Amino acid sequence: MKDGPQDYPKYVGAAVIWLALLSMPFWINRVGGYTQLGTEVLVMALAATALNFLLGFTGVLSFGHAAYFGLGVYGAGLTIKYLLPSTLAGMAVGVLTAVVAAAIIGLLIVHLRGIYFAMVTIAFGQVFYFIAFRWNNVTGGDDGLSNWSRQPIDFGFARLDILHSPVTFYYFVLFFFAVAVAIMAALLRSPFGRTLLAIRENERRTRFLGVPVDRHIWLSWLISCTFVGLAGTLYALLNNFADPHTLYWEQSGVFVIMAVLGGMRSFWGPLIGAAIYVVLQDYVSTMTQNWMSFIGLFFVLVVLFFPRGVLGIIRRKVVP
Amino acid sequence: MSLLQVEHVSKHFGSLIAVNDVSMTVEAGQLRAVIGPNGAGKTTFFNLISGFLRPSSGRIIFDGEDVTALLPARRVWRGIARTFQVTEVFPELSVRQNLRIPVEVASGYRLRPWLSRSADAKVAAHVAELLEMGGLADKADRLVGELSHGDQRATEIVMALALNPRLLLLDEPTAGMGDQETYAITQLIRRLHKDGKLTIVLIEHDMRVVFHLADRITVLDQGSFLAEGTPQEIAANEAVQTAYLGQAA
């Protein structure tokens, strides 16, 4: 569809965001941060944006996305540790594991709606958590999977040392973030994406326009889980560690909080939400153990007074 | 051959019999009105035809094919489109987008992750045509939720038309409308029927609208078939008069 002048603020917003992300390593130290913090923002933003593909743009709430995030984490970690010391192989296995699990579980649950869907996603998610938690000699159990690390990538003509240079790793992550986000944005502007908006707006109407709603929700779920899985692999690489808590349902809640905090009706909302969450966590947790209560308070205030999230406030100021 | 044959359909909700052994045959090109006092089972009857509900017994034949067991989306693909008694649109999307979605679905693009320029132009042209038809061209970029009730109804009707239906089911198209809006919608339906040769079945309470539009009328009362005939026959039918007068007087 053609864009009109009403879309210009959107372009300006996107340009500002991309500039900020591209230049992050150059200014983040000066504002009291560090490169790895920026990388974590990117990873979490990717996960939250992927969740929001389902939540904000299809209208389906999942409380079990940690499962696919965690499968990405463990898929990457286990592959690099036991099978093949290759970063890209680890990522491929991690994403594939998440996709296969999401495809199968999706088939079992897409006919459910609302709270029932959310509850079942939690239940399936917890299954993976307990496997990782109990299977000590492979996954490291509660201690997590350590003693492995991401590997430099050799292209033959050039070598990408993502292991020793945090800045190189940041751009490595930014590359995947950009590709994933571009795909999701393009999908949302396509005929397929419009059927998802239609489902969000009015499922009954959509069904009676000839859309097999369950199948479209399944596809949206699969796309969402795929990119959450990708985010999981990047998270494992970032920490050189696989933590069972990435599979825990609390982590799913964190993704939802990020999306809602930033604004789930806007494409960039989850990025803003993730940035706020990760940075707050980093700063406040150095001062108090109860950092979560500050985030909780902030979250409650946003939901009560700005139901369209932080980006919703900005948008209202820019676009009357 | 008749376009739609409803054969002895019934619908039970527990012990309540909402529709009891009703049959109806609609020829291609006909405009059929289904009327009856409140609680006659008209909307349930409609839901059976469109696939919103599955009949407890009986068959529904569309264009020679038994569609009784088909899901709603599949009935749409075969050419049955409907509107609802309470307007069902996409309130937070623009009128243009509300129409673009069914046009794309009907063009077989629903799973496309992108559109070629020419396909996009074709869709846009069809949308523009529909906007014109519904008298919505000047409101194309407004959110449907912001429009007047009448314009929302018009949007819903042209959304159904966007599917290129062979049978259009309209559930009380003029419900809750003022005279002006009722007149506009009535004219729209009349054009679709007369000029577009579209087969239409509608439920309607406003008898002026019914007698102005319908070729034939089916009357239901308390879930059962009461009468069928031309508007003149129905107006003269004593059983119909009793059913209406007995209830409302």
Query: What CATH number did the domain enclosing B52 receive?
Result: 3.40.50.300
Residues B141 and B178 in one domain: no
pLDDT-flagged residues of chain A (< 50): 320
Among the listed residues B224, B221, B219, the one whose alpha carbon sits nearest the alpha carbon of residue B20: B224
A202 at B interface, C-beta within 8 A: yes
Domain holding B210, by residue range, is 1-79+165-182+190-249
Rounded to whole angstroms, the maximal C-alpha distance in chain A is: 59
Q: Are residues B100 and B169 in the same domain?
A: no
Q: Is B245 part of any domain?
A: yes
Q: A-chain residues within 8 Å CB-CB of B168? A: none
Q: What is the ipTM of this complex?
A: 0.89
Q: What is the pLDDT of residue A8?
A: 77
Selecting from A186, A194, A205 the residue whose C-beta is nearest the C-beta of B100 gives A194
B contacts of A308 (beta carbons < 8 Å): none
- The continuous run of DSSP H or E covering A295 comes out as helix A291-305
What is the distance of C-alpha A8 from the center of its chain? Answer: 27
Tell me if A209 and B89 make a contact (CB, 8 A cut-off). no
Per the CB < 8 A criterion, the answer to whether B72 and A207 are in contact is yes
Q: What is the pLDDT of residue B64?
A: 93
pLDDT in tens, A56-99: 999 999 999 999 999 999 999 999 999 998 999 999 999 999 99
Asked if B71 and B169 sit in the same domain, the reply is yes
**Mean pLDDT across the stretch B17-28?**
94
- The verdict on a CB contact (< 8 Å) between A202 and B97 is no
Query: Are residue B124 and residue B202 in the same domain, yes or no?
Result: no
**Cα–Cα dist A51/A228, whole Å:** 7
Report pLDDT for A316: 66
Same domain flag for B140 and B204:
no
Nearest-neighbour CA in chain B from A183: distance (Å): 9
Q: Which residues pair with B220 in a beta bridge?
A: B225
Q: Is A207 on the interface with B (CB under 8 A)?
A: yes
B104 touching chain A per CB within 8 A: yes
B69 at the A interface (CB within 8 A)? Answer: no
Asked if residue B86 is part of any domain, the answer here is no
At residue B249, the pLDDT reads 43
Measure CB to CB from residue A209 to each of B84, B91, B102 and give the nearest one.
B102
| A195 at B interface, C-beta within 8 A | yes
**Per-residue model confidence as pLDDT tens digits over B28-41:** 999 999 999 888 89
Assigned domain for B49 exists: yes
- Residue A195's nearest CA partner among B108, B83, B81, B111 is B111
Same domain, B173 and B69: yes
For residue B86, give the chain A residue with the closest CA. A205
Q: Is residue B150 part of a domain?
A: yes
Query: Would you say B234 and B219 are in contact if contact means Cβ atoms under 8 Å apart?
Result: yes
Task: Show which of residues 168-187 on chain B sit within 8 Å of chain A, judged by CB atoms.
Answer: none
Contact B102 A195 (CB under 8 A): no
- With CB atoms and an 8 Å threshold, state whether A208 touches B90: no
Number of domains composing chain B: 2
Cite the beta strand spans of B49-198 per DSSP E. Answer: 57-62, 65-66, 80-82, 167-171
Query: Span B23-31, mean pLDDT?
Result: 95
Q: Tens digits of per-residue pLDDT, B82-97?
A: 999 999 999 999 999 9
| For range B114-142, the mean pLDDT | 94
Q: What is the pLDDT of residue A146?
A: 86
| B130 and B245 part of one domain | no
Same domain for B54 and B125, yes or no, is no
Kindly state whether residues B156 and B172 are assigned to the same domain.
no
Domain co-membership, B44 together with B96: no
Report yes or no on B85 lying in a domain. no
pLDDT at A318: 60
My answer on whether B144 and B170 are in the same domain is no
Of B104, B114, B124, the CB nearest to A186: B114
Is it the case that residue B57 has pLDDT exceeding 80?
yes
Contact B58, B21 (CB under 8 A): yes
Mark whether B48 and B169 lie in a shared domain. yes
